[in-house]
Amino acid sequence: MAKIIIVYHSKSGNTEKMAFAVAEGAKQVESVEVTVKKANQTSLEDLLNADGIIMGSPTYYGQMSAKLKALIDESVRIHGKLEGKVGAAFTSSGGTASGAETTLLSMVQAMLVHGMIVQGRASDKHYGAAAVGCPDEKALESCKALGKKVANLVVKLKMQ
């Protein structure tokens, strides 16, 4: 059984809605167990036990939130042990051109430093799923697609 953890921080509830949509997409793939946890309730052991880690944060000044960053900062204690795990990111922002891409890249950058395999997308929203404000149906579909894409990759890599 492949394990995916979706770690998020949400103050307004927008990123939380996205997290559960990502989970819904991941659960569409057979042989995948999905856990959704708030960043401040996620342990390093949770990250170590997962085959895929999907992180979500609101966009704060073009960066991830401090609560998610605190978990990433703590992960220095397990540096090198997340190598080869699949990662992806999602964010909600207050408007267009308000830092969503740089927020996604801040999460992806941390994953790459850990040696993780980052799932991108060629068609649209290349760095991860993003929404402006409360996620509409299109944004939630993008989240579901991200979750499913990551789950498929996790299963494919685990079978090798």
Fold of the domain spanning 2-158: Rossmann fold (3.40.50)
Helix (H) or strand (E) holding 130: strand 129-132
Concatenated DSSP letters for 14-65? HHHHHHHHHHHHHTTSTTEEEEEEEGGG--HHHHHH-SEEEEEEE-BTTB--
Q: How far apart are CA 144 and CA 156, in angstroms?
A: 18
Q: What is the pLDDT along the chain (160 residues), one digit of tens a residue?
A: 999 999 999 999 999 999 999 999 999 999 999 999 999 999 999 999 999 999 999 999 999 999 999 999 999 999 999 999 999 999 999 988 889 999 999 999 999 999 999 999 888 889 999 999 999 999 999 999 999 999 999 999 998 7
Domain ranges of the chain: 2-158
